[in-house]
Structure 1
């Protein structure tokens, strides 16, 4: 029977062991790699004659024949098989090696880690994983963020001031980095970021403009962020939090493209793109005399708004998967989302947007042991996703609350053992005790 689909698609898996087959089939499903599971050589042979697969994975010993003999007979007759990987036991290694000499691409020996299989598949058939980069999207999978990408690509050709707006945590810095990459293809071009809300008002001038030697007792020469961003991009996040007197100095630096270090006697020419971001309504702040009108007009030539995550739910899954990829790479422990977990995450409103999503995913991954996150992993104590409406409050209070319930969770999971909890938190026992006293955490309840 002739093959009916001209384009190679997915994996043909021939495996009679129900546990092994189910495990592999589910794994490929989570990886978004199409996989047809066939329980016998006969089923697999028929499927291969009808479909054009990207790869063949076959056990050598099957109930109705030998996978190695099938491969040898098929290739000897002149027929083609897709890139083939054999699953073998220790007793069949010699046979697998002989198959490699005849054209098979690789083999894997039982028992094996799924990550090991994935590495081999990526090597022998990269086309299976083209979907991971097919869209080329960097900011999200939603139509809204694809539109943002298009706008930023268009803006990259012009040296215009760009103000990125949106709620806290929506990914304004991601957008700024994307625009920077479009403007500066050279990976060596610096991207320097400053959160204006995180720097004390009496230090922000030195941070931006630098310090001259002798400016104050013990001062040494130090370049500011404008100088560090030379030839690249300076990203000023939460510019609405900048003090009014500093806004005037910043405006002068932007207009003249020159800065003067604190305590310095001469100006220094600077050349960098400046991107601005805020979660505030700057026009309203201008009307309230809380933000300089001249600076506002200077920075708001083009405004790009990043919508909240609740308005682009396609991006919840997109970001969650990428955060887990980063976690898996850094921890050298693979963790993936089940479909039920993805559905659970997409039903949440995420008032803290991408920042909150990342924290929830990383916490769930830290405490997960199976390698597959389920909805329950996001519903345990400190890992629970808040469902109550968001309300503004001082950042210090919010961070203190987060710290309190996270330490409580770690203590509870370690049976109240301070030493183990401190090690897991990456701090000393003394530091943990001090934090517990400051936050009013009693170890007696754990």
Structure 2
């Protein structure tokens, strides 16, 4: 992967970064831009799944004054902001087929029109896209345009899941510990016992889950030296269970430590019938809030999206990134 980054950074080639959620796709995009001839130019990022389609078009292409209600002035879009630099579009696989056609024109012609405008704007932008979706399958089902797929897939970079490269985990963990220490203004390190404990976990959330785990452990360490007894992970997810997390922290971790078994502190069995939490409870974490809305809506995503004030695409994105297993009835 590092060799690919080094080689592709030298050129303006479009890059498509593939990998599961949490594998570090944005870090790769950052490395490509900051090691490229465009490093002194703007670096603009956008998560395509975070906005509904009508706002996504305005956000990427900009709009003219009066283009829609609330457009009190003209505004540049992300493509224009990135002129002379790099634009990173995360979750590119989530855009609709109708919007894919508009994006394809910009990539082919290097020009766009703002929403509500008729003037053609030329842009010089290096595009980096990322997705966790199987785009080939989406092309086969007609959910993703084949011509856009080939336009994006010029230089693919695939990032393996952390469980597929456990031999790299000690080095990655120590690097993350150094970065956490820098943010805390102190030295944060890992003992060998802590590293052995980390190697026992499957890391379904990949590097993002590992970093969260290490940050929690560093908070629990007075000296900054993280030992095995401070490593706590989400055992429910690692074992394939999908119950609610304990407490209301929103961290989503089990109350037990990895590898520890205490029969005197076994969790009590959940009641057979229990009403879901209030989705407006400010103490709920994001995952708990989405699960609560789904339960309240009978696991109908469109209804749950309305309860949360989201679009169906936004809640689908959160279900994917928060690793929520949707119940089928």
Return the alpha-carbon distance in structure 1 between the equivalents of residues 240 and 130 of structure 2.
22
Q: 1:158 aligns with which of 11, 14, 17?
A: 11
Is the 1:378–1:385 contact (alpha carbons within 8 Å) kept by the matching residues of 2?
Answer: no
Is the 2:93–2:144 contact (alpha carbons within 8 Å) kept by the matching residues of 1?
Answer: yes
Bigger relative contact order (CA 8 A; separation at least 6): 2
Cα distance change, pair 245–271 in 1 and its aligned pair in 2 (3 A): same
Structure 1 unmatched runs, 5+: 1-147, 410-431, 441-446
Return the alpha-carbon distance in structure 1 between the equivalents of residues 245 and 50 of structure 2.
18
Is the 2:162–2:169 contact (alpha carbons within 8 Å) kept by the matching residues of 1?
Answer: yes
Aligned partner of 1:313 in structure 2 is 166
Return the alpha-carbon distance in structure 1 between the equivalents of residues 82 and 15 of structure 2.
17
SS of 1:168's partner is coil
Aligned partner of 2:144 in structure 1 is 291
Cα distance change, pair 405–434 in 1 and its aligned pair in 2 (3 A): closer
Cα distance change, pair 260–405 in 1 and its aligned pair in 2 (3 A): same
Q: 1:253 aligns with which of 89, 106, 112?
A: 106
Cα distance change, pair 308–278 in 1 and its aligned pair in 2 (3 A): same
TM-score normalized by the length of structure 1: 0.53
SS of 2:35's partner is helix
SS of 1:259's partner is strand
> C-alpha root-mean-square deviation of aligned residues, in Å?
2.8
Return the alpha-carbon distance in structure 1 between the equivalents of residues 150 and 17 of structure 2.
14
Cα distance change, pair 433–249 in 1 and its aligned pair in 2 (3 A): closer
TM-score normalized by the length of structure 2: 0.71
Aligned partner of 1:197 in structure 2 is 49
Return the alpha-carbon distance in structure 2 between the equivalents of residues 351 and 407 of structure 1.
15
Return the alpha-carbon distance in structure 1 between the equivalents of residues 245 and 205 of structure 2.
15
Return the alpha-carbon distance in structure 2 between the equivalents of residues 156 and 368 of structure 1.
39
Aligned partner of 2:216 in structure 1 is 363
Aligned partner of 2:135 in structure 1 is 282
| Number of residues of Structure 1 aligned to a counterpart in Structure 2 | 261
Return the alpha-carbon distance in structure 2 between the equivalents of residues 434 and 172 of structure 1.
31
Return the alpha-carbon distance in structure 2 between the equivalents of residues 402 and 168 of structure 1.
23
Return the alpha-carbon distance in structure 2 between the equivalents of residues 269 and 403 of structure 1.
53
More helix by share: 1
Could you report, residue by residue, the CA deviation over 1:289-328 in whole angstroms, capped at 9, with x for unpaired residues? 1101111121112222111111222332223222222222
Shift in Å at residue 179 of structure 1? 1.7
Shift in Å at residue 333 of structure 1? 3.5
Cα distance change, pair 390–178 in 1 and its aligned pair in 2 (3 A): farther
Cα distance change, pair 159–308 in 1 and its aligned pair in 2 (3 A): same
Cα distance change, pair 196–372 in 1 and its aligned pair in 2 (3 A): same
Mapped pair 1:388 → 2:228: no
SS of 2:107's partner is helix
Is the 1:360–1:385 contact (alpha carbons within 8 Å) kept by the matching residues of 2?
Answer: no
Aligned partner of 2:61 in structure 1 is 209
Larger Rg: 1 or 2?
1
Cα distance change, pair 211–329 in 1 and its aligned pair in 2 (3 A): same
